[in-house]
């Protein structure tokens, strides 16, 4: 049983608590911190939480809680982590870890120095489909991964603080790019060094200071590319898709809009369909159990099992720090308009990665390039001469 002190009674706090108490869970939030007393009290009542407080410190130090879960606006993560580290408590922090790498590394140092268990709550590497896909990649179903596209777009966040740059630290790149970057990193290999990035972060549509659309490519040492696409101006709901391309295979994952539930309604009623759904009649695409599909159940299961077994969870503060460094490079690139190096102060992966590629001998004189069945049923094979480099083709009846 995990006994939790939850910091933050907003949207993400709600999602976390529903997940923590879901199904036949043995875990329990013991105390909720909100700076607003009424809000904390109402939250506690709604979720059956015994205690509430307006003191972050009090929540962190509560003797009935072993694990601090941070669900606060970005500008409060560092403070909360410091408190938890000081109290010697295990700490799990929502994404992004910091508003920038400089904050993130302080958080990493704080927990490692204090020797407390730490987990980075990157839920989107935990959806059941993603866990299964990562396993397929690990066991070789895709050969070498060459390219990953991870996309998260929706019509914009639900709380005012996201739109205020001083609090959030940035716009959609920081808010959702962190998901996409870490998803791609998992598929490509967390031990492969991210080398450089190019990014576009534009304020195209909304009357705000931060960027409302951001695209980027992260190049890894082995040549693979992690592409992210994020937007706060997408129309039609929440679009959450990943595409993985490897030398031997392909994976396409849709986590939200097309997952096997389609509903048309002409009835004149209003209700919640799914996170960021934009319409209430016509064709709708509800999600079965959002908490499951977004990875929350598996994320907390991994975190608490690791905590109980004294092992590491899949995602730690170290990973959160790497992601912050990549995003910092993206912001630099968006301004300099060129590829910018990712500058890692801490790197625990491989020193050197083998390039992705696939050279296959065809016969003693030729290298295989490809084969294809033509409309007339014949097989055409493209070859390269080992010595001359000349390309030629052979047609087989088969």
Site residues (CB under 8 A) for a copy of itself, limited to 105-134: 127-133
C-alpha to C-alpha distance for 96 and 118, rounded to whole angstroms: 14
From 80-88, 114-122, 138-146, 345-353, span contacting a copy of itself (CB under 8 A): 138-146
| Binding of residue 393 to a copy of itself (CB under 8 A) | yes
CA atoms within 13 A on the CB side of 367: 12
What are the backbone angles phi and psi of residue 23, rounded to the nearest 5°?
A: 50, -130
24/10 Cα distance (integer angstroms): 24
* 247, 311, 341, 365: residue in contact with a copy of itself (rule CB under 8 A): 247
Cβ closest to a copy of itself, residue 251 vs residue 323 = 251
Task: Report the residue number, 88 or 128, with the smaller CB distance to a copy of itself.
Answer: 128
Question: Does the protein bind a copy of itself through residue 277 (CB under 8 A)?
Answer: yes
199 and 333 Cβ atoms separated by less than 8 Å: yes
Q: Which of 236, 312, 332, 349 binds a copy of itself (CB under 8 A)?
A: 236
Q: Does 248 bind a copy of itself (CB under 8 A)?
A: yes
Within 342-381, the residues that bind a copy of itself by CB under 8 A are 355-359, 367, 369-370, 372-377, 380
Name beta bridge partners: 227.
149, 217
Tell me which stretch binds a copy of itself (CB under 8 A): 79-87, 180-188, 200-208, 344-352: 200-208
- Taking the complex as a whole, the smallest distance from the CB of residue 134 to a copy of itself amounts, in Å, to 12
Enclosing H/E stretch for 283: strand 282-284
CB 21 → a copy of itself: shortest distance, Å? 10
Options 49-57, 175-183, 194-202, 342-350: segment touching a copy of itself (CB under 8 A) = 194-202
84 to 33, 92, 321: CA distances (angstroms): 13, 10, 18
Stretch that binds a copy of itself, among 29-37, 67-75, 180-188, 283-291 (CB under 8 A): 283-291
d(CA 190, CA 240): 21
Residue from 50, 205, 335, 348 touching a copy of itself (CB under 8 A): that is: 205
- Give the nearer residue to a copy of itself in terms of CB position, either 105 or 245: 245
CA distances (Å), origin 286, targets 93, 129, 152, 237: 28, 17, 17, 10
Q: Does residue 204 sit in helix, strand or coil?
A: coil
Contact call for residue 215 and a copy of itself (CB under 8 A): yes
Closest separation in Å from C-beta 109 to a copy of itself: 30
Backbone dihedral angles phi then psi of residue 262, each to the nearest 5 degrees: -125, 135
Supply the DSSP symbol for 193.
Answer: P
> Judged by CB under 8 A, does residue 94 bind a copy of itself?
no
For the chain, how long is the longest CA-to-CA vector? 79
Q: Are 19 and 127 in contact (CB under 8 A)?
A: no
Which SS3 state, helix, strand or coil, does residue 217 take? strand
Within residues 11-30, the interface with a copy of itself by CB under 8 A covers 11, 14, 23-27
Question: Which of 115, 260, 309, 396 is the binder for a copy of itself (CB under 8 A)?
Answer: 260
Distance, CA of 190 to chain centre: 13
Residues 284-343 that bind a copy of itself (CB under 8 A): 284-286, 288-289, 292-293, 297-298, 300-301, 304, 337-339
Minimum CB separation of residue 336 from a copy of itself in Å reads 8
| List 193, 206, 332, 350, residue binding a copy of itself (CB under 8 A) | 206
Cβ atoms of 153 and 230 within 8 Å: the answer is yes
With contact defined as beta carbons under 8 Å apart, do 313 and 69 qualify? no
Q: Which is nearer to a copy of itself, 348 or 373 (CB)?
A: 373
CA distances in angstroms from 35 to 12, 41, 280, listed in the order given: 15, 11, 34
Nearer CB in complex with a copy of itself: 364/398? 398
Q: Using alpha carbons, list the distances in angstroms from residue 5 to 19, 115, 198, 299, 302.
A: 14, 19, 39, 17, 18
> Considering the rule CB under 8 A, would residue 43 count as an interface residue with a copy of itself?
no
Q: Which of 63, 282, 351, 396 binds a copy of itself (CB under 8 A)?
A: 282
């Amino acid at each position: 049983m995990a006994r939790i002190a939850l910091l933050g009674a907003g949207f993400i706090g709600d999602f976390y608590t529903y997940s923590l108490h879901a199904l036949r869970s043995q875990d329990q939030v013991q105390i909720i911190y909100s700076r607003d007393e009424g809000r904390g009290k109402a939250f506690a009542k709604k979720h059956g939480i015994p205690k509430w407080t307006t003191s972050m410190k009090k929540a962190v130090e509560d003797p009935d809680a072993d694990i601090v879960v941070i669900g606060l606006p970005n500008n409060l993560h560092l403070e909360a982590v410091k408190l938890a580290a000081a109290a010697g408590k295990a700490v799990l922090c929502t994404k992004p870890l910091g508003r920038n790498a400089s904050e993130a590394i302080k958080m990493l140092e704080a927990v490692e120095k204090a020797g407390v268990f730490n987990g980075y709550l990157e839920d989107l590497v935990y959806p059941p489909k993603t866990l299964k896909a990562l396993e397929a990649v690990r066991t070789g179903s895709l050969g070498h991964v060459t390219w990953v596209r991870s996309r998260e777009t929706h019509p914009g966040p639900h709380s005012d603080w996201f739109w205020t740059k001083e609090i959030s630290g940035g716009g959609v790149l920081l808010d959702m790019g962190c998901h996409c970057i870490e998803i791609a990193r998992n598929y490509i290999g967390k031990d492969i060094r991210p080398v450089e990035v190019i990014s576009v972060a534009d304020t195209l549509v909304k009357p705000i200071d931060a960027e409302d659309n951001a695209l980027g490519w992260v190049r890894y040492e082995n040549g693979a590319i992690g592409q992210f696409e994020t937007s706060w101006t997408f129309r039609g709901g929440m679009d959450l898709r990943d595409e993985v391309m490897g030398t031997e295979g392909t994976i396409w994952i849709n986590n939200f809009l097309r997952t096997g539930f389609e509903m048309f309604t002409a009835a004149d009623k209003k209700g919640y369909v799914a996170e960021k759904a934009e319409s209430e009649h016509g064709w709708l695409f509800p999600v079965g159990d959002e908490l499951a599909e977004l990875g929350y159940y598996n994320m907390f299961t991994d975190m608490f099992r690791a905590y109980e077994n004294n092992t590491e969870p899949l995602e730690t503060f170290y990973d959160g720090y790497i992601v912050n460094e990549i995003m910092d490079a993206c912001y630099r690139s968006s301004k300099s308009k060129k590829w910018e190096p990712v500058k890692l102060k801490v790197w625990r992966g491989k020193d050197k990665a083998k390039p992705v590629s696939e050279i296959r001998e065809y016969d003693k004189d030729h290298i295989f390039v490809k084969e294809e069945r033509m409309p007339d049923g014949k097989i055409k094979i493209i070859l390269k001469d080992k010595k001359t480099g000349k390309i030629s083709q052979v047609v087989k009846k088969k």
